[in-house]
Structure 1
Amino acid sequence: MRAENRGIVSWSKLLCIALRLIVIVRNALLFVLIFLFTLKGAVALDYFNVTDFAATISFSGSVELIASGDFDVQNLSLVLRALPQEGNFTFTSSQAVMQGEFEENQVLYFNYSELREGFEYVVTLNYTTLLEPVFFSEIELLNDTLYSEELASYTEFDEFTTPDPVVREKASTLVLGNRTRLDAVLAVMDFVHAYITYDLSVGDDLKNVSWVWENRIGTCDEYSVLAVSMLRALNIPARFVHGYVYSGETNDFGPHSWVEVFVGGQWMPFDPTYGQYGVVDVTHIAFSKTKSARFEQVSISYLQRNARLDASRPTVSIVPTRAEQGSTGFTLSAALDKQKYYENDYALLTMDVSSPQSRYTLLPLQITTTSAIQRIRNVSAILVEGMTERAYELLKTGQTPNKQTYLIHPVRVRTPFSPDVSLELEHYPGSAQSTLEQALAQIPSQNATPYADVSVTLFYEPVVYGTQMTVEMALTNTGNQELDDMRISANEPRVMVDAGTLFVNEKKNVTLALVFDLFGEKNVPLNITYGNTVLGVFFVSVLLVEKPNLSISYDYTKQDGAHSVSVEVTDVHNASHNASISLAAQNYYERVHKSNYTFIIPDRAIDTDIIIEATAFDTQNQSHSIREIIFVERTLLERVWLALVRFLSALLA
């Protein structure tokens, strides 16, 4: 009876504990869901492969009338570049407005025959668009420049795009070996995308190509200016596109510019800022396409006497209402050539894209992975020639920070018109199993493209005394293109060395000085870049050891007829070390493992040089010593007494 009761109590306790655990787990899950829901609004959206998009777009602005004395404003015409040049839309306006054309673009006109006061306006658009691939049947040769008069005007320079000789020369160098216009365009776009560093501090003032080339920074306008200038230098028609785009950095829409190039018998979009070629994502909403880089959202004209009109820059709001991925008939597959890769190893990524049509189409190809993996070929687009096309990317591993474990690097491959493909690259400690030449040999010759690669050998001491060290780097350009503006940098400690240009097969030695704040083990990643492209990351593993900085102080005394030397050893770093002191003279040696001690000097060591030596051991059990020489001298009385003793000893002998 008692045993049965105890059993019932035990099961009851277990049941209560289980119920409590369920409640705890439930509450934890609710907390996580609430947390994720709260964060949902702050997460950047991804529109790369959205094909069906809708948004509400609103423009609001005002016209201010500034008058003095009698005034009369007549025939006012305000042009608002607020209509998307692609897709479908309907609009409403708070003021009377008319749709029309201005400089070959669809615009809105506010027209007033007479005006005696300012006004405000709000234009609201319901916008929809379908992202579609650009199909074409032929690709022009690079030297095919028989353009119509209208098309030829898009090869002419203006105040922003007139290139310096160095820009012309670089454009010509980029397209060496390229037969088609499309190959040349892709070469220019890849160069511009890597050459310029995005920097909002450039501001709203539009810069010309000379400024962009020299400073290598800018916003989307500067990317577009350099791209159009280089394309026109190659006699390729190119124009500017001004509009708005979604930014994952701000999680909002903002002003943007990109480029259209006449290729394949039609105008094709290229965004050198975002690196999207042939197709740009659905959030690229074009409001104007022009020959010039200059763009004004609002322009105004009127007849007036004693009056002035100011038209404010409109406030633009874009709110997406639909973003869906539809079926387009494209398929994407990808695979790595091996299951395991080791340090500084090469992985061949093979990608196949199938098209629903037999004509040409150019698609942006997005490959993302961790920062520890280097992309060698930097494939950014794939030209599908017919039903199926294959592209190749080379990925290079770096060193593993921990020799006891392996890493898994996610690799994602995307095009705008197919589901993503996700892979895993397993990265193990150990020597590489393949070389660059072996990896390249797997790529068919027709797919061979320029690639950048560098071989790096590091020379440095793995154990350094102090907080400063020197790293010698031997660099060899093992790719097939010259590497401009090579730099070696570290973030902690912050240091950068400019290595200049490294030509194909050229070898160059670079010295890097690293200064640290603290002692101990350091694992420093060194970034090797050319332009804005990362070639690789190499690790310097070093142990910084504090070297004892010893100092000896001593005091010689004589008391009660005995000579003594008091010695103290200190470390100016105030670090604790295992110290010892030794005294040595003729026929005399004494050593103690202490940092301070008083030695009694025997009579035989007096009137001779005595060596005081202090030794300390660092954390690596390496000894460090310092020595002083003192002379222990007898007093006059001791000398007289010693002489007398020796005289008497001689008489008695």
Structure 2
Amino acid sequence: MIKKSVLLLLIIILTSFSVYAIDQPVNDYNSYSFIDYDVGIVGSFDLTPTSSNSKIGEVTSILTFFPRSDDLQEVKSLNFNSVPQASISNNSDEISYNWVSPQDNSFELSFDSNVRTNNRLIIVDDKINFPLSGVESFYTQPTEFIDINNDITLKASDIASGEDDLYVVSFKVADWIQDNIKYDLGSLTAEVVQKSSWVLKNKEGVCDELTNLFISMMRSLGVPARYVSGVAYTNAGYKFGPHAWAEVYFPDKGWVPFDVTYRQFGWVDPSHIKLKVSSDSGDPTIRYTWKSVDTSIKGKKIDIDTKVVNTGTIVKNPVIIAVKPLINSVGPGSFVPFEVSIKNPNNYYFPLSLAVTKANALTDKNSKEILLKPGESRKVFWISSIPGSIDNGYIYKSTFEVEDQFHNKYSTNITYSLGIESVSKDQADKMISSVKPSDNLSPLELDCSSTKFTFSYETPSVKCKVKNNSGRKLFNLDVCASSVCKSMALDESEEKSVDIKLPLLKEGVNIIEITAKSDSFNVKESVRIEILSNPDLSISDIKYPREIPYGESFKFDVLLNVKVPVKDVHLFINDIEVFKIDFMDGSKKASMKFNSDDLYKKDNINLRIDFKDKNDKQYSIDKDYPVQVTNVPFLVRFFSIFS
């Protein structure tokens, strides 16, 4: 028998992760300025003799899955180990473990490292024209799993149609995939990686497939994009796990990350630890080669330990966000539109993610991704539906709250009750249409607001912000409301605020139209101001027994409602103070206990409520409620004749 020395190649894909979070589980790490990690990997394999003539000449293991320093992460230390001791060499692409004439049949390779990931953007501070020209073609070509067919090309072209900004195109492609491809760990793609063409056709996949499809679409548009694999934190089990995302090449700026699965477009949170970049998702994590006689190899799973050892400070959102309802008080079953105003004061693009965290039922998904250009202001809207069945005599308060990706929260409130006109879905849509900016940037922006309620003795006012987007200086610009005008001049891209005092308005709801007019431009907006003669504090319900046996105690419950907040509320029963409320907004129940002895020979319970509005103006309500004390003992009635 002729003995042959053979060279075999075995490819093993990363199959399992053993991971740890910090002591207390956290939802995510989005808000930290940086995270320091200990990251380690252990891989092992066995060479098994298949005959008594077995002989091993040389074994080499090439690892391509390890951290490298780049714009978003810094490798502070990286140490290699092996058992038995191997000759270890490394470069930026791979770590090579080599054993010559080993005496052992079991092998282990490993590394341990300390890595810092930074919560920062790849700064894109000017527009990059799309389509691109003159770019390197390596990362624009189809590969085995990141394939490109006619359907992918047509869909990507349709999404990018009419756009000439690379960041906008990349953002729209990622957003389309998130909205239209179902992330499903129960699908067969969780076990076997599928090609991009399969994912587009079947509209489902896991992080690998969503990333594959995003890269395929970008490459079909001539934009370089590459596959990134590593680990990231998930609140599904509160642990780190294998994850994949993409990077898109922006000429003169660098590689910008896009994580379609996590809805992070142009930014990824610092729980992302990059361990490998490749042109295809099927590239091997580790390769084994060996020269041997009558020997087989059996690779074992590769384990990665990821441990958080330190976190940075809490970051702040660099954009300005404000939330307001388009109507403040509604009836049951209403649809309430909410406006979220966003301003990017920076000279670079900023990808913003917003999620509604408190609200009644929404008519749309609770999250939105918004790409803000340098200096851009945007408005986004949600509609919340109010319950149709509510109790009489109460004013209900509902909170609408949104949260950005750094967990900064922004909220507002509305009230709803019986006796107020309900708002239909169609009416809510029309309210949004009346204030929603057009897709094209207006040469003159006007954004106005006012207080929800104004008392009749106060001077009503509106506050407006005016911005010049016309590309030239504007002279003789008039901002007018109810025949009151303020004049100004605006330099190119300048924004100014103006406060307009209005004449006295009639009680009730007033719709005030505001105009900003120059020689060339005329824009309009309206605000709603409700004029009140008083805070509208009312007693909506009283509960007490009309007949009370002598000598027994009883409860006297009062339900108060107020339209606008009041303070220093004092309740008096028969001129004796029995209850105090420092501040009240909405509904408040006051429960008091009395003895019927105190009411004998009285036909009424007198209730007086003294209170103040926000300006310390005093108000009072005085009402009598009938009562009869029964079963009065004879001696009490007899002696009362002489009292």
**Is TM (by shorter chain) over 0.5?**
yes
Match of 2:28 in 1: 46
Q: Which amino acid aligns with 2:323?
A: A
Q: Secondary structure at the match of 2:94?
A: strand
**Which of 310, 326, 332 is the matching residue for 1:322?**
310
Q: Return 5+ residue gaps in structure 2 as ranges.
A: 1-21, 443-643
Cα deviations by residue, 1:30-60 (Å, 9 ceiling, x for unpaired) = xxxxxxxxxx967543211212101111212
Distance, in Å, in 2 between the alignment partners of 1:133 and 1:70 is: 55
1:598-609 to 2 correspondences below 5 Å = none
The structure richer in helix per residue is: 1
Q: 1:341–1:348: structure 2 CA closer, same or farther, 3 Å change rule? A: farther
* C-alpha separation in 2, matches of 1:119 and 1:54: 30
User: What is the match of residue 97 of structure 2?
Assistant: 110
Do residues 232 (structure 1) and 187 (structure 2) align? no
Q: How does 1:285-364 map to 2 (within 5 A)?
A: 285-326=273-314, 330-338=318-326, 340=328, 342=330, 343-355=334-346, 358=347, 360-364=348-352
Letter in 2 for 1:171: A
Distance 1:290 1:120, change over 3 A: same
- Over 3 Å counting, the alpha-carbon distance change for 1:426 and 1:107 in structure 2 is farther
Partner of 2:174: 189
Residue 261 of structure 1 is matched in structure 2 by: 248
Aligned-partner Cα distance in 1 for 2:38–2:440:
43
* Structure 1 letter corresponding to 2:313: Q
The Cα shift of 1:75 comes to 5.2
Aligned pair 1:90/2:77, yes or no? yes
Structure 2 counterpart SS, 1:231: helix
- State the identity as a percent: 19
3-state SS in 2 of match to 1:54: strand
Structure 1 gap ranges (5+): 1-39, 450-653
- Quick check: 1:334–1:413 contact (8 Å CA) kept in 2? no
Q: Deviations over 1:244-265 (max 9, x none)?
A: 1000111000001011111253
1:251 is aligned, of 226, 235, 238, to 238
Q: What amino acid sits opposite 2:36 in the alignment? A: A
**Match among 395, 398, 410 for residue 385 of structure 2:** 398
Q: How does 1:504-543 map to 2 (within 5 A)?
A: none
Deviation at 1:384, TM superposition (A): 4.1
What is the CA–CA distance in structure 1 between the aligned matches of 2:224 and 2:90, rounded to whole Å? 26
Contact 2:177 2:214 in 1 (8 A): yes
Q: Secondary structure at the match of 2:232?
A: strand
- 1:185: Cα distance to partner? 1.1
Give the Cα–Cα distance (whole angstroms) in 2 for the partners of residues 288 and 276 of structure 1: 19
State yes or no: 1:444 paired with 2:445. no
1:413 has 2:397 as partner:
no
| Shift, 1:267, TM fit | 1.0
CA–CA separation in structure 1 for the residues paired with 2:438 and 2:377: 13
Residue by residue over 1:336-358, the C-alpha shift from the partner in whole angstroms, topping out at 9 and shown as x without a partner, is 25462642232211123433xx3
Equivalent of residue 373 in structure 1, options 355, 362, 375: 362
CA distance in 2 between partners of 1:165 and 1:427 (Å): 53
8 Å CA contact retained: 2:81, 2:111? yes
Higher RCO (Cα < 8 Å, 6 or more apart): 2
Q: Structure 1 stretches (4+) deviating beyond 6 angstroms?
A: none
Deviates more, 1:437-446 or 1:317-326: 437-446
> Given the alignment of the two structures, is residue 130 of structure 1 paired with residue 118 of structure 2, yes or no?
yes
Offset at residue 92 of structure 1 (A)? 3.2
Q: 2:268 aligned with 1:283, yes or no?
A: no
Q: After superposition, give the CA deviation of every residue in 1:370-422 in whole Å (9 maximum; x if it has no partner).
A: 4712448964133341xx43232111122414333645244123244xx7133
- The answer (yes or no) to whether the contact 2:336–2:386 under 8 Å persists in 1 is no
Pick from 108, 118, 142: which aligns with 1:157?
142
Highest CA radius of gyration, 1 or 2? 1
One-letter code aligned to 2:175: D
How far apart, in 2, do the equivalents of 1:44 and 1:377 lie?
A: 21
* TM-score of the pair, normalised by structure 2: 0.57
Task: Give the counterpart of 2:65 among 81, 105, 108.
Answer: 81
Superposed CA deviations along residues 572-593 of structure 1, whole A, max 9, x for unmatched, are xxxxxxxxxxxxxxxxxxxxxx
What is the aligned counterpart of 1:58 among 24, 40, 55?
A: 40
CA–CA distance in structure 2, aligned partners of residues 376 and 62 of structure 1: 46
Letter aligned with residue 180 of structure 2: Y
TM-score by length of 1: 0.56
Which shows bigger deviation, 216-225 or 407-416?
Answer: 407-416
Give the equivalent residue in structure 2 for 1:556: none
The alpha-carbon deviation at position 286 of structure 1 amounts to 0.9
Change (3 A) 1:227 1:371: farther
Contact 2:131 2:221 in 1 (8 A): no
SS at the partner of 2:101?
strand
Given the superposition, is the C-alpha separation of residues 406 and 90 from structure 1 closer, same or farther in structure 2, using an over 3 Å criterion? same
- CA distance 1:286–1:82, shift in 2 (3 Å): same
Q: Residue type matched to 1:145 in 2?
A: S
Instruction: Please state how far the C-alpha of 1:427 moved relative to its aligned partner.
Output: 5.9
Task: State the one-letter code of the partner of 1:381.
Answer: I
User: Aligned equivalents of 1:329 and 1:376: distance in 2?
Assistant: 23
Query: Offset of 1:327 from its aligned partner?
Result: 5.5
1: CA distance between counterparts of 2:67 and 2:98? 17
In 2, the alpha carbon distance for the partners of 1:445 and 1:139 equals: 21
Task: Tell me the matched-pair count.
Answer: 397
After superposition, give the CA deviation of every residue in 1:528-554 in whole Å (9 maximum; x if it has no partner).
xxxxxxxxxxxxxxxxxxxxxxxxxxx
- Is 1:217 the counterpart of 2:208? The answer is no
Conserved 8 A contact 2:45-2:107: yes
Contact 1:70–1:306 (8 Å) recurs in 2: yes
Displacement of 1:84 after TM fit? 4.1
Pair 325,381 (structure 1): closer, same or farther in 2 beyond 3 Å: farther
Matched to 2:169, the amino acid is A
CA distance in structure 2 between the aligned counterparts of 1:448 and 1:200, rounded to whole angstroms:
41
Contact preservation (8 Å) 1:76, 1:303: no
Return the match for 1:71 from 30, 55, 60. Answer: 55
2:183 maps to: 198
| CA separation of 1:446 and 1:397: change in aligned 2, threshold 3 A | same
